[in-house]
Amino acid sequence: MSDVRDADGPSRWSIEKFGLPLATTLRTEIPAALRRAVELAQDARDASELDTDHAFGPVRWKQQYEVLHEYLHDLPDVVGVHPPGAQVRVTICRGHLLLPWRYTTRSDLDMRDARPGRDLNRLIRDLLILFGPEPSHEEVTLPLMPLTPEEARDRSALREAVEQMTDEPRVLLVGFACNSDEGLLRVSWGEAALLGGTELKWGHVEDLPVARAR
């Protein structure tokens, strides 16, 4: 039997971004792609014959980007970009960068309640800084305080690579919960501003339907 969350159709928010046909397709294809990525990681763990997740984690991280693009690349207005220095391809759909983020191993944690950890990697943080929503408030910078290395890092090559592929890019975080035993547990997507590199200020967030197939 399958456990499906939120069986209604696409929201007005997603229809305004993608149009009804594309929003309807993304609603099912994104969870299907992430489920497949997690299954490939489970297969890698099984093949390793290890009782740890040393094989599961790296495979899952790589495949969450690659399989997502494989599932979506034939849809209208979908392109991929290889950010400079990155080992993965980012999917852009109708001007939105779809950034997969494994935010927890539990099904009962809402994406908005998760703290940005190492799975919210440098690439995602950089893209949020460049193209994410503007924070509603920012910390006041004290006079004569030098920039941190993170703040001062040059992101111009990344900006140029993305802007060559789409006009006015925006970021959508595609958060998901999974673990190596139960597989994919939950998928959400939404908009967030990055505050100080340590906090996410959330706008709209919604769950996508997930069928547990394994």
Task: With a cut of 50, say whether residue 3 has pLDDT above it.
Answer: no
Residues 138-194 have pLDDT tens digits of 554 445 556 566 666 789 999 999 999 999 999 999 999 999 999 999 999 999 999
Alpha helices by DSSP H, the chain: 12-18, 20-48, 56-72, 122-131, 149-152, 156-163
- What is the amino acid identity at position 18? F
Task: With a cut of 50, say whether residue 2 has pLDDT above it.
Answer: no
**Neighbour order of strands in the sheet with 199-208:** 78-81, 90-93, 96-104, 170-179, 183-195, 199-208
Residues 29-57 have pLDDT tens digits of 999 999 999 999 999 999 999 888 989 99
Residues 90-123 have pLDDT tens digits of 999 999 999 999 999 999 999 999 988 878 999 9
Q: Beta strands 170-179 and 96-104: pairing type?
A: parallel
Task: With a cut of 90, say whether residue 5 has pLDDT above it.
Answer: no
Cα-based distances in Å from 155 to 130, 141, 172, 185, 201? 8, 20, 19, 34, 22
pLDDT band at residue 212 under the 50/70/90 scheme: low
Task: With a cut of 80, say whether residue 1 has pLDDT above it.
Answer: no
Task: With a cut of 80, say whether residue 6 has pLDDT above it.
Answer: no
| Residue 24 to residue 151: CA distance in whole angstroms | 38
Residues ≥6 apart with Cβ < 8 Å to 187: 30, 31, 34, 174, 175, 176, 177, 207, 208, 210
